[in-house]
Amino acid sequence: MITKNIQLDEQGRLKHFLSIEGFKRQHLISILDAAEPFANVQEQAVKKVPLLRGKTIVNLFFEASTRTRTTFELAAKRLSADVLNININTSATKKGESLLDMLHNLESMHCDMFVVRHNQSGAAHFIAQHVSPHISVINAGDGCHSHPSQAMLDMFTIRRHKKDFANLKVVIVGDILHSRVARSEMHALTTLGVSEIRVVGPKTLIPTGIDTFGVHVYHNLQEALVDADVIIMLRLQKERMQGALLPSEGEYYQHYGLTEKKLAYAKPDAIVMHPGPINRGVEIASSIADGPQSVILEQVTNGIAIRMAVMSQALGPGGSDSSRTGVNA
């Protein structure tokens, strides 16, 4: 049984960032705090800081991604690291090379960090357990399991708008079953002390035992939206439409799509979030996605700051400068 939290090193500092599960409140707060100065760096004319000069970061993407990969790349570059992008769809695993062989090859090129996205749950844990000890692994999404940097950038965005987590009502809408974002959000929100989390979707998209995450399950979006402070819409993957999970996009939009009419049930200052990419007219009305309550593009911007914070905590000198944000267990 693997129970040890491999995400922290012996000194209690961030080593790997694989899932929100296993971090305490102060760990998450320290990442959010570390991201604040980086958010400001982005607004300066010279956006680079020299924290990770000489470090090599590999973006190892076994699954297609634009937003996540680009923001990780930008984050690394703004920290002055060298970045290598590898898209494995077109690479060696197609030729039968095993995942571990490929990792060992990259290790021998003296890389310092792997940012990994993979379609199998547990892939990032697996890689972290098998890489040589000097390498940090950041999970950029593994199967249906976890997407911790997405959850943290959402927490960062919520904190900028809502200040205090404790009294929030947060609603997560859509395909909870297949969503690594939803799982990470639920862990992050409960760890940060959010008082009420509601998840909404038809039973076909709600996994068994979800209540053990400390959330309330709704099958009716209007009811769930009453007095909501934060609404997180999830992406509905087109391929999910082909099975027996849902009858049609139209019926889904009718009942679980966010429209102006339904949004009126939430608090007037509620913010609307979406991890992207958006299916307009399936999950959300365009008028809301582009409207005043939407913080969707802000999420993307904040993603760079959060990823800079995570990378610098895992790779930074842990010494003198602003990277001294090491979480203390």
Q: Which is nearer to another protein, 126 or 253 (CB)?
A: 126
- In DSSP terms, which residues pair with 172 in a beta bridge? 199, 232
Nearest-CA neighbor of 87 among 109, 108, 118? 118
Which two structure tokens, joined as six digits, stand for 69?
Answer: 């990969």
Sign of CA dihedral 20, 25, 26, 31: positive
CA 323 from centroid of its chain's CA atoms: 21
Q: Which is nearer to another protein, 1 or 109 (CB)?
A: 1
Q: Which residues are catalytic?
A: 67-68, 95, 117, 147
| Integer Cα distance of 317 and 52 in angstroms | 8
How many residues does this entry show for the chain?
A: 329
Binding site for another protein (CB under 8 A): 1-3, 6, 21, 98-100, 118, 120-123, 125-126, 130, 142-146, 180, 183, 207-210, 212-213
Q: Which is nearer to another protein, 182 or 310 (CB)?
A: 182
Q: Which is nearer to another protein, 207 or 318 (CB)?
A: 207
To 10 degrees, the CA torsion angle through 128, 131, 132, 135? -60
Give residue 284's identity as a one-letter amino acid code. Answer: I
Minimum CB–partner distance for residue 58 and another protein (Å)? 18
Q: How many CB atoms lie within 10 A of CB 265?
A: 16
Sign of CA dihedral 242, 247, 249, 252: negative
Contact 170, 228 (CB under 8 A): yes
Minimum CB–partner distance for residue 206 and another protein (Å)? 9
Q: Which is nearer to another protein, 119 or 167 (CB)?
A: 119
Minimum CB–partner distance for residue 145 and another protein (Å)? 3
